[in-house]
Chains A and B, each alone.
Chain A
């Protein structure tokens, strides 16, 4: 058994930041990641990181923009903490050597971004995430923090108390991808989940192959509620053939969107008469698909993003990476031609329910970054706020897990006996299929740390042995494709009840197929098929949570849009959808979101750009 004070699951931005913070608070900390840290998807972030660094830009404005962007579904205490603390975080990153782009006076450059009232997005070319990831990994190396790379965490070791608020997380079971060894990891103080988003639930996504929602699925099955899972951001500018991201920075620098008729539709068709291309992402994504639906799309599929008028010099200085991406992955030279773009699944706003300290309802279990939901993005995240979030809340989760100083939380977590419950009939029985299901909740029959971890390891060995013993059945790739196709078709930018129900029935079929899963590769050595098979079970649970939330929320707010309910319904829906696993028979309930913090109160207004 491996043992540390704090174990961080995931080596992307949130995980690295949490690890450094835990280390600075005096903990013996290790990172356990199924990749190597520098392979993490934070590296693919392009546009930048928001922070109110200028004197004439008070942090309260950043908070206001974030709350407005969230379509008033964020929690005010999280938003305020975020906007205040991100400033020092960004400067600290600069002190760690981050190669930010610079103004003439040598200060960090900042550019306009969608939904921001001030040019507040600090950047390093159009490859901000890569530099951030590497700069933070360097700090991990400098501090000698141990990294277990290519170790895949598959099951949390949580005590078996009936009430989830009594449960304690002592560590997890993981397997070494290179050798197939299954081992227990004990965290004396805390486990921080930093496993990133779940874009692989969708067929057309900017997300890496590795973004399979592992942390969210594991925490969910251990009893932590998932929050606002229906809130998936579709980024308006991805390359049609691959889903590769084209940064919002293109529009921030002045890039324009055109339909097939050469019309600048954001203005000409009234989608955003003030901000045009720089409206919030949800607004732009819907506008693009409306253009396509009304016959003004290019090849009935996409629209054009044009930055040629910015000139080669400015483009090469600030957006060079975009030139390479468009050339390598779409065969288009954006210095000469407009780029074809369409919306793609990009960011998981919802996730593991946490508070401002990164705490979940389970003692010793924390989450940070995209896998968590604090919630500061609400129904729609602003561009440049994700790299920012992982710094602030990554640091907080790491510090809290290591027992460092941090103020009391204002945001509640865990079950609420007085909560409003959703009692509708779902079109399928969600959760566990039956006893043949391989969903695996964390259910050690003990309370003491070591037996809990050993029991998780034993259960995981059995599951893996069983998967490897399968003689025939359905391959994981087909099951994964079924989920991705159903979600891409029915739980996309435009949603309606009948489609979401169809998706849920497909998810049910995927679960049935999964009970008949066949793993062809019997080798213990670097068995990626086995790894993908376990990931696919996580994708099933996460997809189901997204679809259930999408069905329940019969209003339109931020990224979530329902055909029969095209208005935002503040009287009814200023609340989070919460989904609890409930030992395999999930229950949905609601928690009102917090529009007031200790500093200010936010009044929901009509959102126009």
Chain B
């Protein structure tokens, strides 16, 4: 276990609440501030680069893209195709794929829709890491840029993988809000403290892209493992104070099953690749702690 998780493993609920409370009054909570710092550094670096490269002429970007189509004879055996594309400032991996398709090869196939990191369609395996194509800058990648479908998923065609198993795991944790009781009257909302909303905020940001699941060694070896995204989904409800205690216990039972939270070996690969910076490993650890506490009650 890494030092990070050992520390977070020792964190008490009181401390967690203080942290959330601090977030209310002073600056963003930890994962976001790290993320912001990273981005600021990148923007600064980009600016420096842009200044340094001001008079360089038009450049190209070199892509190696995985191709496969079971129906097409020369694509039935997976291969990589090489593309050289004109580069422009701000070009993302998704931009490059769309340019390659619309300019050179209309058969190049990948999922995409919103272009702004919220639909979760375009998780890809690029230069050996799970990323979201639309929010990854070409300038941040070493060339040739190797673009592959998400590992540990059956490939349907080119960069499109079968997501069914991912959806099955998401559905397996009863992923819907289920309160014990609701306020009387159709115009009366449930109350939720700002602290509690803050507590679950990061977990609600999941866009179901599947990057975490694809990066997880445990999920790769155990097809029944719920996986980080599904556990995070359950975390979102478990810690939502609007759900009752009975429901919380039922949720723990689902999470504690043989292929649930205890499978996680805290390798942090899911946390590293999450495009929404959800602290997935920490969330899994927190659920483990809850399970231990719950079990001790009956000891």
Binding site for B on A (CB under 8 A): 35-36, 38-41, 43-44, 53, 87-88, 91-92, 94-97, 99-108, 124-125, 127, 129-131, 134-135, 138-139, 141-142, 178, 208-210, 241-245, 312-313, 316-317, 320, 323-325, 327-333, 335-336, 475-477, 481, 519-529
Contacts and interface: CB of A to CB of B under 8 A. Distances in A.
Contacts of A92: 186
B148 interface: no
A43 B117 CA distance: 10
B176 A142 contact: yes
A522 B69 CA distance: 11
Contacts of A100: 192, 197
Nearest to A135: B177
A39 B157 contact: no
B237 interface: yes
Contacts of A521: 106-107, 109
B156 A523 contact: no
A320 B28 contact: yes
A141 B71 CA distance: 33
Contacts of B167: 36
Nearest to B68: A525
Interface stretch (B51-59, B77-85, B118-126): B118-126
A175 to B, nearest CB: 15
A327 B116 CA distance: 11
B2 interface: no
B176 A95 contact: no
B176 A139 contact: yes
Interface string B166-188: 01000100011111001000111
B189 interface: yes
Interface in B64-121: 69-72, 90, 101-102, 105-107, 109-121
A244 B35 CA distance: 20
A221 B232 CA distance: 45
B27 A316 contact: yes
Contacts of B26: 313
A106 B193 contact: yes
Give the interface residue-count category, chain B.
35 or more
Given A38-B120, A317-B24, A520-B106, 14 more contacts: A44-B118, A94-B190, A95-B190, A108-B189, A138-B176, A139-B176, A142-B178, A178-B162, A209-B112, A313-B25, A327-B40, A333-B40, A475-B102, A523-B69
Interface string B181-223: 0100011111111100100110011011000000000000000
Contacts of A332: 43
Contacts of A124: 204
Contacts of B160: 526
A189 B55 CA distance: 65
A241 B90 CA distance: 8
Given A35-B121, A141-B171, A525-B71, A102 B187 contact: no
Interface of B: 24-28, 32, 35-36, 39-40, 43, 46, 69-72, 90, 101-102, 105-107, 109-121, 135, 156-158, 160, 162-163, 167, 171, 175-179, 182, 186-194, 197, 200-201, 204-205, 207-208, 237, 240, 242
A102 B177 contact: no
A209 B115 contact: yes
B78 to A, nearest CB: 14
B175 A138 contact: yes
Nearest to A142: B176
8 contacts: A44-B118, A209-B115, A316-B27, A316-B32, A329-B90, A477-B102, A523-B69, A525-B156
Nearest to B35: A324
A210 B111 CA distance: 10
A127 B205 contact: yes
A275 B28 CA distance: 31
A37 B254 CA distance: 25
A326 B289 CA distance: 37
A392 to B, nearest CB: 14
Nearest to A477: B102
Nearest to B188: A91
Contacts of A91: 186-189
Contacts of A324: 35, 39, 117
Contacts of B120: 38-39
B43 A526 contact: no
A131 B157 contact: no
A87 B119 contact: no
A97 B187 contact: no
Given A209-B112, A331-B90, A40 B119 contact: yes
B187 A101 contact: no
Contact of A39 (B102, B113, B176, B205): B113
A325 B134 CA distance: 11
Contacts of A317: 24
Nearest to B195: A102
B180 to A, nearest CB: 12
Contacts of B111: 39
A331 B43 contact: yes
Contacts of B69: 523, 525
Contact of A525 (B25, B28, B70, B113): B70
Contacts of B177: 96-97, 135, 138
A582 B208 CA distance: 43
A88 to B, nearest CB: 5
A373 B237 CA distance: 36
B113 A210 contact: yes
A178 to B, nearest CB: 6
A127 B116 CA distance: 12
